[in-house]
Structure 1
């Protein structure tokens, strides 16, 4: 019996992302194909949007593999480990920020095209084919979003969380398209048929206006991680732990430096000991470090904790 995880293992972060990429590629192909058949630019945009999303999910999967391989010391070449001796966590916010920026760029481009089409008198399309595509895609998006959200309750991955948000956004886009296409189909042969050429670009413009602001929080968080902005909640927790440790062991002071880079927490603690403090063995100092590590919490491959004891304040500042 092999212990090797299945390629589409939904209990593993990488398996979830592989599943997402596979389904996204299928939906992207359907979107581009149905968009060309029906003459709908909004469906074609949906397909291109999915294609961009799939390419970024693939990049996310590569980064996850690097982070995981480094953490478990498996499957990573010695040369690569020597070149990136502090790990690959810094790649995660870069990929998340790039992903969100590309999605905003694609949506902004589609918005410009939608407005241009409206000004030119709209676009005729085959509503029957468009409705078939919208129904298939809506079912797929809702199913994948539900499955990934359920899996991420245990995995707790930022990549998967963003991917779930992407599927929810895609489901919202497709639902709006389906409603618009049904309205367009219903007005055929009526006095309102003159509106049908405007339905496709109008709904595309509306969808773009709604989804363009959504990735902005992701970009903001990614920039905070890239620029090593100190998380307030984590800093407060470290300060409480360090102050309690100083009071318990009769130390002079401490200095704490905290940052969050993607899934990694980087923590440096410097404790200033009195000059008259009794000498301790290496084992005793290590026991104090273990005490600090247990109090800080979050022990695991994504925590980078450095604890230094010194009698010279200059080493801590």
Structure 2
């Protein structure tokens, strides 16, 4: 199964869950279920954008290089991936913050009445769907290795945890009706919504942090150390004076530019020899794939490398 197939199926199921959440939430009077539906809808829209970006990246690396859109993005579409991931994380965090404010307001105003029967039915269905999708997509991503699918798995996992908490709260509210705790049920829905939001607000932060690191082209320390180690060995082996390494990770893409300072006045070499050195360095760097952008240049003038 490909990345695009997993994301398409996930999008379709998320839209179904979102529609069910909004419908059940309005019917039962539960703001937490409505939030669950809106949260799922936001996730579905962003997953759709992720699918588009994934398709663009795949297209740019295929034989369809003459497509008009690809000609306008000759450096590829890798930079779109962290933008989408970061925007997705910020939207989900923003939605949770807004829901938290609404939940606190509802608690302060006396809570709200809730049809626990409909709410429990909804929660049972969504927990089953979310757990199934998270397990299925996680298995598929062991082969695919996609950041987008990994984020989608995290979204389904979060949805299962969220709805599981709602289910427990709804069952508790239903159970205490007609007892000495009968005055508590109106507060259960906003209280569980507030608790869930407090848990969910920080969850996308690691994704947002990594996305901004990619957008800002912050050099990964481990990746830079590996490139410098390979370059130093090549420099010593071929008698070069020095090297400059420029490294960045942009989404799934790895961009590496290596410049070697060659002593002036050396006898000329055939281009095939320089290409052989490039192949040798590329092999030592490892990880050769369509997602690696590798440039290796040789010059006697350090200004060309700085």
TM-score range, shorter chain: over 0.9
Equivalent residue number for residue 7 of structure 1: none
> Which digits, 9 at most, give the CA deviation of each residue in 1:195-254, with x for residues without a partner?
000000000000000000010111111111011000011001101100011111111110
> Which digits, 9 at most, give the CA deviation of each residue in 1:123-160, with x for residues without a partner?
11110110000000000000000011111111110011
Q: Distance in 2 between matches of 1:113 and 1:81?
A: 44
Q: Is the 8 A contact 1:72 1:301 kept in 2?
A: no
Answering whether residue 261 of structure 2 is matched by residue 307 of structure 1, we say no
SS in 2 for 1:254: strand
2:60 aligned to 37, 58, 70, which one? 70
Offset of 1:77 from its aligned partner? 5.5
Equivalent residue number for residue 141 of structure 2: 152
Equivalent residue number for residue 45 of structure 1: 35
Equivalent residue number for residue 247 of structure 2: 258
- For normalisation by structure 2, the TM-score amounts to 0.98
Select between 79-88 and 13-22 the one with higher mean Cα deviation: 79-88
Q: Which consecutive residues of structure 2, in runs of 5 or more, have no partner in the other structure?
A: none
Equivalent residue number for residue 272 of structure 1: 261
Q: Distance in 2 between matches of 1:277 and 1:296?
A: 26
Displacement over 6 Å in runs of 4+:
none
Q: Distance in 1 between matches of 2:56 and 2:71?
A: 13
> Which digits, 9 at most, give the CA deviation of each residue in 1:275-314, with x for residues without a partner?
2433210111111111111111111111000000111111
1:35 aligned to 25, 32, 38, which one? 25
- For normalisation by structure 1, the TM-score amounts to 0.95
1:100 aligned to 83, 89, 92, which one? 89
Offset of 1:73 from its aligned partner? 2.9
Offset of 1:256 from its aligned partner? 0.3
Equivalent residue number for residue 197 of structure 1: 186
Equivalent residue number for residue 5 of structure 1: none
1:213 aligned to 181, 196, 202, which one? 202
Offset of 1:107 from its aligned partner? 0.6
CA pair 306-34 structure 1, distance change in 2 beyond 3 A: same
Q: Distance in 2 between matches of 1:77 and 1:171?
A: 43
> Residues 71-220 of structure 1: matches in 2 within 5 Å?
71-74=61-64, 78-220=67-209
Q: Distance in 1 between matches of 2:274 and 2:295?
A: 13
Offset of 1:72 from its aligned partner? 1.1
Equivalent residue number for residue 280 of structure 2: 291
Q: Distance in 2 between matches of 1:307 and 1:284?
A: 13
> Which digits, 9 at most, give the CA deviation of each residue in 1:17-39, with x for residues without a partner?
00110110110111011101111
Aligned length: 306
SS in 1 for 2:61: helix
SS in 2 for 1:72: coil
The CA RMSD measured in Å over matched residues stands at 0.9
